[in-house]
Structure 1
């Protein structure tokens, strides 16, 4: 009897090629080292708009560097890390889920703030970048909606969620990888937003076997998060 499985599910020989703990630990250590370096150097950028743009750029760069380190541990085809073509329906669903992720993430952040009492806005520099004029907004969108999703999806889904999905039950892999992704954003109101994005992109990765739907979802979510506060402010709401 044939058993239905998600299109991107890792089975058979593909399971042997999927990244494992060696890739996770190598990429994770590289990501942590880059994070510490950024934590020391980024505060030196005093202009809020420039600080926001640089922050978005390094967020993507950290993921790409960690991904590269993980790939180089045991060199194999990039398709083992989800660098493969996605079908149109995967991308359409991803775009719609990007908007849903923003709505769900906003609700989750509000609940977090009410329950925890933590109301700090840790994205003021990103909002300053979006409000800094057309060129600043363009750079913020390129960095936040293209580079950041590319880097973070490459590592957190292409390596981390990928490795978990190949070895553990799907619900464990999805929730665990999303939790790690959320904690990587810090214990603040962004944590539940990152968790929502992490769950949805991990599910997309399991369904499609490709990181590109997750990159699109992540990009739509980030672009919406940059533009909505700007539009609300401009509208005087």
Structure 2
């Protein structure tokens, strides 16, 4: 009886690795319910920021601290929106009675073990993304295209509001990778696979991921990142490798921003 019960659990895990328990229609509805308020909040936040003075004069410590607290609260809240729909569909929808809610939900979103050798693939993809990014920046310079990326915006923030700058980097490294991977790869990608071939599910989820960053200048690089994250989700059946790559990429970007910032300040 115990062996039969374990076999049932293995079967459920294997099924969830191939197909999400939510339908394509539910996936689309979930994207609308998530991305519409997410976009509205980001637009409101952008308008609020654009209404502030654009001077490059450093902020006073008190003003900077207040901005940092507001940034932490607002950005953290916006990122948490990515978790609501996935948690609802993974943990509170119909599930087999023999599988505990927690196990069913975590398995559905892709929180599964993966082979240690996958780390080599993660590192290889990180190097590939970095090369693509460098080549893209060289292309922009060669074409004399003055496009301002989000990284440049964050860099300029570091020169006038250091506390807000470090809070922004903290959220980028420790909050965004988990929240975004749960939504885009745990929920969206696996749901899209219910109604289309894996190639189109990877590409469409990557396009949606890139568009939500409000960074047209970095769209190509973000698209490549989205493809890499979805590929890892598909090949491993786990969300952890994508979170790992996402974290490494954002950490590398943070290090490069810090090197750029303090390199310029030392001149």
Same fold (TM over 0.5): yes
Residue matched to 1:61: 80
2:201 and 2:90 mapped to 1: Cα distance?
Answer: 20
Q: In the TM superposition, what whole-angstrom CA distance separates every residue of 1:44-82 from its partner, at most 9, and x where no partner exists?
A: 365787376567535532322343344367354121221
3-state DSSP class of the match of 1:44? helix
Does the aligned pair in 2 maintain the 1:145–1:219 contact within 8 Å? Answer: yes
When residues 181 and 203 of structure 1 are mapped into structure 2, their CA distance, relative to the original with a 3 A threshold, is: same
| Bigger RCO (CA 8 Å, 6+ sep) | 1
Residue matched to 1:145: 173
**Structure 1 residue 147: deviation in Å?**
0.8
3-state DSSP class of the match of 2:150? coil
Matched, 1:177 2:220: no
Residue matched to 1:20: 23
Could you state the TM-score of these two structures normalised by the residue count of structure 2?
A: 0.69
Residue matched to 1:4: none
2:259 and 2:152 mapped to 1: Cα distance?
Answer: 15
The CA RMSD measured in Å over matched residues stands at: 3.4
Does the aligned pair in 1 maintain the 2:18–2:237 contact within 8 Å? Answer: no
Gap runs ≥5 in structure 2: 1-12, 53-62, 96-103
3-state DSSP class of the match of 2:180? helix
Does the aligned pair in 2 maintain the 1:109–1:193 contact within 8 Å? Answer: no
Residue in structure 2 matching 1:214, options 236, 242, 262? 242
Residue in structure 2 matching 1:230, options 243, 254, 258? 258
Does the aligned pair in 2 maintain the 1:26–1:73 contact within 8 Å? Answer: no
**Structure 1 residue 28: deviation in Å?**
1.1
Number of equivalences: 227
Residue matched to 2:216: 188
Could you state the TM-score of these two structures normalised by the residue count of structure 1?
A: 0.76
**Structure 1 residue 164: deviation in Å?**
2.6
